[in-house]
Amino acid sequence: MSHLKTKKFYVCSCFFYKNIFLKDYALHVEYEGDDKFIAQYESVFTQKYSVNLEKLKQEIIPFVRAEIDKRRDRGKLCLERCMYIEQNYKPLHTQVYTLDPRFLEPAFIQIVNYCKSAGSTKEGLLSLIKKEAPGRSYSFPVFTNEFCKLLVEELEYFEASPMPKDRPNTMNNFGLLLSEVGFDLRFMDPWRIEYLVPISRLLYPDCCGGSLDSHRVFIVRYKLGEDLDLATHFDNAEVTINVSIGDVFEGGDLYFGRMSQDGTAGLPKDYKWYKHINGTGLVHRGLQFHGAAPITSGTRYNLIMWMRSSQLRNKLCPMCNSAPQLEESIGYGDGFML
């Protein structure tokens, strides 16, 4: 369980006022009081979205403030949910909570073994995986189709249960945070440490890929009548892996743009779409802008792990681009350490 971690992790205080997503406007905003918010955004809302000051005050600001209150309570509520689920939830497929090498594609195990072998190099690894969109994203098989099916069944069973649930973030309203459901200790921690870090160490040394010491892991679900697509964003992560675990859908391809440090979300000239393949994982730098096209039929499930390196982010918070102001948290927080 994430709340029983022995090391203490923190969040940066910017979490409480920055990067609040307004889905109707596909806009991320920050909030430090009504006056500042109005000064900062009134012209954007009136000119770009024909929203007048009254609506800004009556609807948008209250929504933003409610989101901030929710973030303030996040740790406490998460802990309550974790404990309630641990005591009351009876899984459908108990076995999916423990990482079993039989869930993994042999090619994935081979790739990881290569990365762990003496003298392994990035060039050697690149001959075993597929280069995808520009900007150093790569794909490779990860989970067997049988495991994906079991996992989706388990998560649908959990979703249909009366257990308390939280959603991954303001952009995904139908996913699930897997740490809360009890996946960390026996599945997600060993998966990250034993399998993903060896790969990231070679691919992303500049992102401290060899010292990704925490994560935030969740599934996203897209379905007609629910969330369809994902606006362009970057992750609060050094390295992200995105594995397709449910493939009965059309559309939903991913696209990748520039790095967040470059300031704009525009697509590079050589961009191409990434098509999901069941059981296949795509790794990319978290700070590369990306998004997902709408699905046009079916239901899409992906397992996403945002991996963080305290060593790197302790120096610079990727969300506010400043030295982080640390605040207490539970579990992995946002991956900062004292």
Ligand X SMILES: O=C(O)CCC(=O)C(=O)O
By CB under 6 A, name the binding residues for ligand X: 172, 220, 230, 235, 242, 254, 290, 292, 302, 304
Q: How far is the CB of 153 from Fe ion (least distance, A)?
A: 25
Q: How far is the CB of 335 from ligand X (least distance, A)?
A: 15
Q: Phi/psi at 88 (nearest 5 deg)?
A: -115, -20
Residue 106 or 294 with smaller CB distance to ligand X: 294
Q: How many residues interact with Fe ion (rule CB under 5 A)?
A: 1
Residue 2 or 302 with smaller CB distance to ligand X: 302
Rounded to the nearest angstrom, the gap between the alpha carbon of residue 162 and the centroid of all alpha carbons in its chain is 24
Residue 172 or 179 with smaller CB distance to ligand X: 172
Rounded to the nearest angstrom, the gap between the alpha carbon of residue 173 and the centroid of all alpha carbons in its chain is 13
Residue 41 or 249 with smaller CB distance to ligand X: 249
* Cα–Cα dist 231/169, whole Å: 12
- Which residue number places its CB atom closest to ligand X? 292
Residue 211 or 232 with smaller CB distance to ligand X: 232
Q: How far is the CB of 74 from Fe ion (least distance, A)?
A: 19
Tokens of 242: 């995105």
Which residue is associated with the tokens 């918070």?
A: 317
Which of Fe ion, ligand X, none does 217 bind, CB closer than 5 to 8 A by kind? none
Which of Fe ion, ligand X, none does 115 bind, CB closer than 5 to 8 A by kind? none
From the list 210, 228, 212, the residue with the least C-alpha distance to 220 is 228
Which span sits near Fe ion by CB under 5 A: 85-93, 186-194, 231-239, 249-257? 231-239
* Cα–Cα dist 43/269, whole Å: 31
DSSP 238: S
Which of ligand X, Fe ion, none does 302 bind, CB closer than 5 to 8 A by kind? ligand X
Which span sits near Fe ion by CB under 5 A: 38-46, 232-240, 263-271, 313-321? 232-240
Alpha helices in the chain (DSSP H): 34-49, 53-55, 61-72, 74-88, 106-116, 122-126, 145-160, 178-181, 189-190, 197-203, 310-313
Q: How far is the CB of 302 from ligand X (least distance, A)?
A: 4
Q: How far is the CB of 140 from Fe ion (least distance, A)?
A: 19
Contact flag: residue 189 with Fe ion (CB under 5 A): no
Which of ligand X, Fe ion, none does 219 bind, CB closer than 5 to 8 A by kind? none
Q: Which of 213, 235, 238, 247 binds Fe ion (CB under 5 A)?
A: 235
CA distance to 155, 186, 195, 308, per residue, from 89 (Å): 12, 17, 28, 29
Residue 245 or 317 with smaller CB distance to ligand X: 245
Residue 97 or 289 with smaller CB distance to Fe ion: 289
Which residues, 6+ apart, have CB-to-CB distance to 155 below 8 Å? 176, 181, 219, 301
DSSP string, 166-218: --SBTTBSS-EEHHHHT-IIIIIHHIIIIIIHHHHHHH-GGGTGGG--EEEEE
Which of Fe ion, ligand X, none does 230 bind, CB closer than 5 to 8 A by kind? ligand X
Residue 117 buriedness (CB in 10 A; 0-12 / 13-18 / 19+): exposed
Which of Fe ion, ligand X, none does 242 bind, CB closer than 5 to 8 A by kind? ligand X
Residue 45 or 183 with smaller CB distance to ligand X: 183
Residue ranges binding Fe ion (CB under 5 A): 235
